[in-house]
Chains A and B, each alone.
Chain A
Amino acid sequence: MTGIREYLRPASIEDAWAELSARGEAARPIGGGIDVHLYVPPGTTVLVDLTQAGLSYVREEDGVVIGATATFTQIRESTAGESYLGGVLRDVLARVASPLQRNLGTVGGTLGSAHPWSDVIPLLLVLDASVVVYDGARRTESVADYLAGRAAGERPLLVEVRLPPAAAGSACAFEKFAATGFDVATLNCACFATVRAGRCEAARIAVGGTPGLAVKLADAEGHLMGQRWNPKTIARAAAAAAAAIDARDDRRATAAYRRKLAQVGVARCLRRICAEGGGTE
């Protein structure tokens, strides 16, 4: 690839931060590096590969802790991938790209690139994930805050993603609409709910690829919170999600079609949550 003059593989996050800080705008951190091959940011001359910085782990520890350079395959094959919320990580990550790319792609790379079609971001939003970042000191923030900071130009390094332990009666589902098996999403959505004794105690809905970046939809969630979990509330929440998304036309789909997809996708997710154990406790 032309333009890249230096490739560094620091042994710690602190070293990586020092290298990036010293080189400024010309330097870019990478995990698997897929994104830089496909969309090289203009002016990039230095790549700082984080895969030797000790962040390639997946641990079950008060929920799940995923190091920034853990690959999608590694997450899928981990014990947590199998067990967390009925295997939601294993199942959803199977919908991301191809096996060959999943052996390279990392959770940190996905968040760092923050592509609007990312299948991982809506999932992390509804799982109420937080991230540990480093910019000279470590701090923890929500995924939504991380993405907002990123949009405002902040570039802390991602250290790890943390998924909280799931309460009893919780389930999560994901839906993706794409032109081919591993094309990026025309639209995707993820839903999470905790249902006890037939009543919804927690609900999170996120829709991505609208074609904007995934966001949580508080209006739609409000139609579920505290309500009986039944086809009527599901239909109301799905309709509210479709109305709330920032749907726009692009080469993949029209805004109107995206609203239809959002309605169908959210309804499917919520019905699957019902079928897969939400509410059975």
Chain B
Amino acid sequence: MTITVTINGSLRTLTIDPGDRLLDVLRREGYMGVKVGCRTGDCGACAVLLDGRAVNSCLVFAAKADRADVVTIEGLERDGQLHPVQEAFLDEGAVQCGYCTPGMVISAVDLLSRTADPTEEEIREALSGNLCRCTGYVKQIQAVKRAAERMRRDPR
């Protein structure tokens, strides 16, 4: 079957199998920032924005993305400039091995798109579906706080 989907702002027409997962289709199309972790919705490494909300792409049928808007980690930068959440992750040293980072960043972007000034509890809750096996959660939370401050100061 064929789907038409906007990926990172580009309209794409893709041929897929009806049972394909969005995760596998995105990686097949070269969006390798979408990581394969558990494939059961537990780890969050494969998170993408689907119509603005962060989801486990391993649990989404690609066919569901027909006529939808998908944003992967590769789609967050603007004109060569990283997204404030990406910048804050670098500045705070919140990236360790890096495997969980794309998913964490996507979850944080979802949160900050709705809540300009989240509490620490809200940040922890928003990241609770993203597992970091380096267990570096403190700096990731700090990074989201810093990103929120920057985005309030300089909304894009």
Contact = CB atoms under 8 A, between A and B. Distances in A.
Contact of B54 (A4, A6, A103): A103
Max chain A C-beta neighbours (<10 A), residue from B17, B20, B21, B59: B59
A10 B53 CA distance: 23
Contacts, number: 87
Interface string B98-132: 00000000010010000000000000011011100
A78 B19 CA distance: 32
Interface residues of A, number: 27
B44 interface: yes
Interface stretch (B61-69, B80-88, B138-146, B148-156): B61-69
B64 A1 contact: no
Interface in B26-73: 40-42, 44, 47, 50, 53-56, 58-61, 63-64, 66
B18 to A, nearest CB: 4
Contacts of A2: 19
Nearest to B129: A98
B97 interface: no
A214 B125 CA distance: 27
Interface in A37-83: 37-38, 47, 49, 51, 73
B151 to A, nearest CB: 19
| Residue among B19, B21, B58 facing the most chain A CB atoms (10 A cut-off) | B19
A116 interface: no
Contact of B18 (A7, A37, A101, A104): A7
Interface of A: 1-7, 9, 32-34, 37-38, 47, 49, 51, 73, 94, 97-101, 103-104, 181-182
16 contacts: A3-B19, A5-B18, A5-B19, A37-B40, A37-B41, A38-B59, A47-B18, A47-B61, A51-B64, A97-B129, A98-B42, A98-B129, A100-B56, A100-B107, A101-B55, A104-B59
